[in-house]
Structure 1
Amino acid sequence: MKLGRFLLGVAAGLAVSYVVIKSSETKFVKPEKALAQIKKKYKDKMSIMGSWIQIEPIAEEFNGLTYNIYQGGLTTLKDGNPHYIDFKVDADTGTILELQS
């Protein structure tokens, strides 16, 4: 066997391994993007003074299904006092799963 063919086989194997590993990695919506979407959706309904979101998703069950979620919150003013709203967002799609005031 020639060295060139051997090296070509090794390179092809490495390339295929790289593609398989990258395609199997879970891709989440970036938490900053999920937070921006929530703030955009509710900016007309309330005056948002502050916000936060967890950076690492956690697994949680809703209606018998397990989701990877980001937890976060918004701070608004209600009757001149701070009012806190908590939310949970699907980390895979960015869909709001729960909103509590």
Structure 2
Amino acid sequence: RLVAVFQPHRYSRTEDLWPSFAEAFDGADLLFVTDVYPSGEAPRPGVSGRLIVDAVQRARPDQTVRYVPRREDLVRELAAELEEGDLCLTMGAGDLTSVPDEVRDRLGG
């Protein structure tokens, strides 16, 4: 399986581009979306990773998508979900880079 993890980058980009993500993850068997990495921007009302999750679910109702805004929950959920042979692809411009190591450590690897 391909397990994808996506962290939206900047509130302004998420607000402007969220509809374009609707089919961007078609190849993923399971998609996790985190909250927005702000990169110095102030939060914007109504703008979160949930926008992307909703867009994907509308475009591909059969695709499994999970909104996991909190990093510590993401590590826990990934560790519980991953199976031997899975490929986990993390995509983000923020603090997502250490998540694979944290998941590996949690799994005892």
Name the larger-Rg structure.
Answer: 1
In the superposition, the TM-score normalised over structure 2's length comes to 0.24
More strand by share: 1
Answer 1 or 2: higher relative contact order, Cα 8 Å, separation at least 6.
2
More helix by share: 2
In the superposition, the TM-score normalised over structure 1's length comes to 0.25
